[in-house]
Structure 1
Amino acid sequence: MTDGSGQRWESALDSVVVYARGAVCRRLARGTVGPDGRVRVTGLPRSLDPGSLRARVLGAPGVRVTEARVVVEASPLGADAPEDAGHEVDRLRDARDAAEARRDRQLALIKEVAGIHPVAPGRKRDDPHRRTPVDAWLELADFVDERLTGMHARLAELEEALRGAEHALSVGVDRLRRSSTDALSTHVGTLVCADLTLDGSNDADVEVELEYGVPGAVWVPTYRLAHRQGDGSGRLLLRASVAQRTDEDWTGVRVALSTADLRRRSDLPRLRSIRLGRRQDAPAPSGWREPPAGLADLFSGYDAAGPRPFAVSAPGAAAAGYAADAGAPVPVSAAPMPPPAPAPAPAPAMRARRPSVPPAAPAPQAPGGAYGAPPAFAGAPAGLVPSAPAAAMAPPPPPPGPPQPSGAELDYAALVLHGPDEQGGRRGLLFPDAPVDPVATEYRRRAEAVAALPLPGHAVWPRASAGSFDHRFDAAARADIPSDGTWHTVTVGEIAVGLRTEYLCVPSVEQTVYATLVLSNATDQALLAGPVEVTVDDDFLLTAALPTLAPGGVRRVGLGPAEGIRVTRRTHLRESTAGLRNNTTVLDHRVHVELANRLARPVTVEVHERVPVTSDGDVRIEEKADWTAPEEGADGDRLAPGTRVWRLDLPAGTTAALDGGYEIRIPTGKALVGGNRRS
């Protein structure tokens, strides 16, 4: 494709699904396919994961994509390429250093002038004393003062210029840190494209969809709750703080948010049975397959054609891409893939070299070699026998049977089919040593640094709040998210929730009434934990932490103290004895709670009290109140044992009194050492 053959299509980013870590992007490209069916789609980001590229044709039955590969181009941007923020920071840093040098030079001049002072000439022992010329001393002092005054004025100007240069440099550094990584940083750009081969096009106008994964994208949920007093419902606006550094700006894209892990395993677990006895099941297939017969003859025509004029293998292409990104215009070319080898009978598509030893006693297999081939003979000619010392140091052969590949060799997604230019007996075989592109690795490393961003207040990572379930939220409108690695707010949609205002107080701990919003989720979508901005009657109240709310769940959101409701608690303890011989101590506790509603509307108040609990059957506790035990609901797991609840409706401008208590009967033999607890 580097010789100009094939079509070049521009692509546009259409939608993005942001996962807990990373994102899946969807691009659309349209054009007319030529007779050869080869198309190069441009516009892909430099942090793209090559193994995640998927392509398909939309709205054209009979047309399909038969091949999709990721290629890298190096192209000069021209002399009129705009200066990026990095060059501006370098210029500002040079200006700051120059201003600092001028300031230091002025300080040196001031020190030199300040050191000027009159020095009396030396006097011999027999010479008489001479009078000091006072006028000369005064003239020298005036001269030094005049010069220092001018120099200090100049120093003030230089220090002001230095402060301005330092401020401009700090602004430039901050702008560079927040700038989008979509812009290229050199005059020679590394462009990532997708080479597609379409079948059945017949010079038709088709639309192609490209899907690929990129690292460097994170999100956390945020909310905004609007509530009116006296209304039993509210509007919960779901928003998301999204940060991405994927080397491409998301402009006008449809955004979806998912709590799933993009890199999770997709294979199903297998639970193997445990058998006792001599008869055992046949072992599972090892994944190794015998290479097809005549594999060496597959490249005979390629070898007869002679050497190629110019060919760059996969590692060379990666190095060329690195040089291009560094500023050198190096062409990048990929070696053509060899025709696929004929597959053996119905066995899986695993290719390997024939073992150098009979199958009954295969040679030891080490990671990095092809299936069934000992690494020591990977590049040795046929018939080569190792020397005696090497044979003596070799590990013992494995038990009879087919070779057992290592875990790296069973990772089918990481296996690479080596082409005809490979040496050492690797051509036409699958090996797990895929070439590493240092440029792409560096881009992905910088992109993944976005996961270290500090979270907004009360924010929780979606994987931590979603638990064992995964959820997806689709934004109602398209959004713009630049690739600058900072948080951006995206509006997802509005969720109808049930709301009611309740007031809660625990007067035995603090004689203050707190306002709470009881939030109920009546939808089929979970609400993840995150910050919620609460607005009551169009007035912003506070930002609270919303816990995870499953469908049908109920949670309380605290709104702070309610100054319009007062509570007072008084207690009384009376100790006596009972029983035939006064052998039982009776502790009679009385609790009196008064509530006053000074608001202009009726309220519902929940008062929490506590009753002692005991694990001794001889100690009895008798309650004398109309309170009730709390229901096992949303907050039941957070209430201590012995909690009792009063619930009452308090009209506007009224007061109410609540009386309760309990008796503790302790036998004399059960008295605690040092006295019984009275409160």
Structure 2
Amino acid sequence: MNRSLLSLSVILVLAALPAAQADDAVDDAALVAEGKVSAVTVYQGQALVTRTVDLAEVSGLAEVVVTDLPQNVLPGSLYAEPRDGVEIRSVRYRVRPMELDVRKEVRELDQEIQDVQDEVTAVQREQQLLNEQQQYLNKLEQFTTVTADRELKNGVLNAETLKELTSFNFEQRSNIAANQLETNKAIRDLQRQLEVLQRKRSTVAAGSAQTLREAVVFVNVAQADGAGMKLSYLVTNATWSPSYNLRATNDRDKVQVEYNASIQQMSGEDWTDVEMTLSTASPSLVAQAPSLDPLVVKLGREQAEGAAQMVAGAKNYKQAKQALEQQREQLAQVRGNAINRSSSPNQAADDLFGSPTANTAVQSNAQQGAATDFSGGGFGGQVDARWAASDRESADRFLNEVAQKMQILDYNTARIEIKKPEDRQQVEGEGVSVSYRLASRMTLPSRSDRQLIQIAAHPLAANFYRLAIPVLTTNVYEEARASNTSNEVLLAGPASTFLGDEFVGRGEVPTVSVGEQFGVGLGIDSSLRTTRELVDKVERIQGGNRVVDFTYELTIENFGSDPAKVRLLDRMPTAGEADITITLLKSDKPVSEDRAYQQRGLEEGMLRWDVEVPAGATGVDRFVMKYTMQIEYDKQLSIVGLPAKQ
């Protein structure tokens, strides 16, 4: 670790230390309230939760304790926004040990477990009583036997009494055996019930120690009528991802895109009837842009060798550049969450700098029965300015160092593969940041399974066709090309596809910008079949080169009663070296005039024909398309395939 990395690690360690130890007793004069979760913005990995707190009972200077915060709260993210007539003086976070778990659901499970344990104890006591009764009968039987032997010898045996005692003994033993069987079954059933409840509790209360998490807000309320405030904070263990239901109409004229969000929220608190926003951005609590330092260069062997080693270690310039870009993104994320590192550092910072998480200190203090007080939060971010400023300065310095490496790499690398415009657009599309505000209020309990909610539904006009790729498969697939005419970007995600009411399979939707087209796979069309055959090969020597003509026959059979529009695809090889010449000599039909295909397909050796196959075109009447290509190369060599581009 170099000095700069070490310095930032030290800063993160210091920032993780608690600011002060607080008394674990709640001030009797303070207003204790949970507030109501009113709005949630779910990011991919975190969520910003806003609680509305009523201050109608507060007048003048007072402490307001917003209690029962979730176990996954990031303490450094706390901030409060006042309504008119309310002034926020300070916000701090504290944790206090509690005798019982703070969550209602956990407390209810604890009570159920206690009730079952009490039942087990009662049945075990009953079982113990049955054992004592059986021991008494054993003693009674022994006494009866000895007495009967003595009386029989003396000739004074009372047969009727002996008979009654014997009957009584066997009757009681029979009752005890039946009761023992029942108690054994009852204990077994109760033990199973207890195991289920304990497993359920361990799932529900995962990470929820008997600790009360609170925000202590010092306010000045000038007017009580309508007084209130909003308390916001970030929580972890909350994320979402897009998914789709694609429904093509039976008339083949539209595709209904049902845009869904698969949300997993295990923050530790339920979100009930809240305004919800879904975002792909990264939550940032730093408002100031990083500072750009001057770049000073000089001539020398050191920089050139450093760049050469960097490229050699990453195999090529592209990988070296990607590694630096990834490090830059991690640094930017750490910087954006610098305010949170006082309580729960961003995982990227842990990975990048090896900084410890402060949650360990919080849990340790709670286990020791002490309350831990973190100063932080505030209105607009009242935090310890020393550490926040130091974090930003260190992050800015590292960002400039990584940027310097990237620029020096450009200057000293001899061969650089310049990205094509279409490649740059694709990379930019992968990192698109969008937000969706849901039209209706939502309720999402905190639980481990994913919950599906609908973001929007868009009926999109589409062009339907069949796709035949005989070089890969004899099956012909049905597809639709839809245009995103909505005002929302569609993010990449899995899709379930339906044709009418029939489920046809699963696929993927790429990231689709507004106005962009995308394909929708509708499964195999069993009424069509395609084949590909090499029907002629002519070879000759011309100078020092071998010239070979290949003629391929592509066929499509239509067993249906309607004609079918088909995109017929094949491919020619492309030259990986300059000493191979590949030419399309002739084709029964001209290749497609589609603009996107003309721009990229031909250059990559792809062949596409847009054809219509008549109904009932089978056997000798099947659709046939031939084309001839020519390959010219050194007669002493043979053709070798290269790996596909990554």
Give the letter for the 1:591 counterpart.
Y
Counterpart code for 2:523: G
Q: Would the aligned equivalents of 2:262 and 2:453 in 1 still touch at CA under 8 Å? A: yes
Q: Distance in 1 between matches of 2:30 and 2:639?
A: 96
**Conserved? CA contact 2:539–2:547, under 8 Å:** yes
Name the TM-score, length of structure 2 as normaliser: 0.58
Cα distance in 2, alignment partners of residues 409 and 576 from structure 1: 75
Q: Distance in 1 between matches of 2:98 and 2:49?
A: 24
Note closer, same or farther for the CA distance 1:558–1:533 as it changes in structure 2 (3 Å cut). same
Match of 2:446 among 483, 497, 514: 483
| Code of the aligned partner of 1:53 | L
The equivalent residue for 1:623 is 585
How far 1:551 sits from its partner (Å)?
2.7
Taking the aligned partners of 2:181 and 2:429, their CA distance within structure 1 comes to 59
Matched, 1:644 2:607: yes
Q: Distance in 2 between matches of 1:267 and 1:316?
A: 30
Matched, 1:608 2:608: no
Q: How does 1:591-606 map to 2 (within 5 A)?
A: 591-606=552-567
Q: Is the 8 A contact 1:476 1:491 kept in 2?
A: no
What is the deviation of 1:252?
Answer: 1.6
Name 1:660's counterpart in structure 2. Answer: 626
| SS of match in other structure, 2:45 | coil
Structure 1 residue 21 and structure 2 residue 21: aligned?
Answer: no
Structure 1: distance between partners of 2:65 and 2:280: 30
Alignment TM-score, normalising by the size of structure 1: 0.56
Identical residues among aligned pairs (%): 20
Greater gyration radius:
1
Alignment of 1:348-359 (within 5 A): none
State the one-letter code of the partner of 2:391. Answer: D
1:478-498 alpha-carbon deviations (Å, 9 max, x no partner): 222222232112222223434
Superposition pairs for residues 465-476 of structure 1, below 5 Å?
467-476=430-439
Deviation by residue 1:339-366 (Cα, 9 ceiling, x = unmatched): xxxxxxxxxx999xxxxxxxxxxxxxxx
The C-alpha deviation readout for 1:252-299, integer Å capped at 9, x for no partner, is 22221111222576542322224689xxxxxxxxxxxxxxxxxxxxxx
Matched residues in 2 for 1:640 and 1:156: separation? 83
- The residue type equivalent to 1:411 in the other structure is D
For the 8 Å contact 2:574–2:582, the answer to whether it is kept is no
Match of 2:501 in 1: 538
Shift of 1:608: 1.1
Which is helix-richer, 1 or 2? 2
Q: Hey, what's the Cα distance between the residues in 1 that align with 2:60 and 2:444?
A: 38
The answer to whether the aligner puts 1:671 opposite 2:632 as a matched pair is no
Specify which of 209, 215, 219 is matched with residue 197 of structure 1: 219
Aligned-partner Cα distance in 2 for 1:238–1:165 = 46
Cα deviations by residue, 1:103-138 (Å, 9 ceiling, x for unpaired): xxxxxxxxxxxxxxxxxxxxxxxxxxxxxxxxxxxx
Task: Decide whether aligned partners of structure 1 residues 75 and 271 sit closer, same or farther in structure 2, where only a CA change above 3 A counts.
Answer: closer
Cα distance in 2 between the residues matched to 1:212 and 1:584:
72
Give RMSD over aligned pairs: 5.0
Q: Structure 1: which 5+ runs fail to align? A: 103-152, 278-314, 325-329, 338-348, 352-370, 372-406, 415-463
The answer (yes or no) to whether the contact 2:536–2:552 under 8 Å persists in 1 is no
- What amino acid is the match of 1:268? A
Residue aligned with 1:644, SS: strand
Query: Which residue in 2 is equivalent to 1:218?
Result: 239
- Residue 622 of structure 1 deviates from its aligned partner by 4.6
Q: Which runs of 5+ in 2 are unaligned?
A: 1-24, 128-177, 299-359, 377-382, 395-426, 642-646
* Equivalence map 1:45-124=2 (5 Å): 45-47=69-71, 48-58=73-83, 60=84, 63-72=86-95, 83-85=107-109
* CA distance in 2: counterparts of 1:640 and 1:92, whole angstroms: 73
1:199-598 maps to which residues of 2 (within 5 A)?
201-262=222-283, 266-274=287-295, 322=367, 410-411=390-391, 467-575=430-538, 577=540, 587-598=548-559
When residues 619 and 9 of structure 1 are mapped into structure 2, their CA distance, relative to the original with a 3 A threshold, is: closer
Distance in 1 of aligned mates of 2:445 and 2:262: 13
2:355 maps to what in 1? Answer: none
Asked whether the 8 Å contact 1:45–1:246 carries over to 2, the reply is no
Cα pair distance change 1:674/1:70, threshold 3 Å: closer
Instruction: Note closer, same or farther for the CA distance 1:96–1:266 as it changes in structure 2 (3 Å cut).
Output: farther
Q: 1:68 to 1:223 in 2, by over 3 A?
A: same
Higher relative contact order, structure no. (Cα contacts within 8 Å, ≥ 6 residues apart): 2
Distance 1:262 1:538, change over 3 A: same
Q: 1:322 to 1:468 in 2, by over 3 A?
A: same
Residue 38 of structure 1: CA displacement? 1.6
Letter of the aligned partner of 1:610 in structure 2? R
Q: Secondary structure, in 3 states, of the residue corresponding to 1:85?
A: helix
Q: 2: distance between equivalents of 1:676 and 1:5?
A: 84
The answer to whether the 8 Å contact 1:612/1:621 transfers is no
Aligned with 1:175: secondary structure?
helix
Code of the aligned partner of 1:621: T
Partners of 2:212 and 2:198 lie apart in 1 by 24
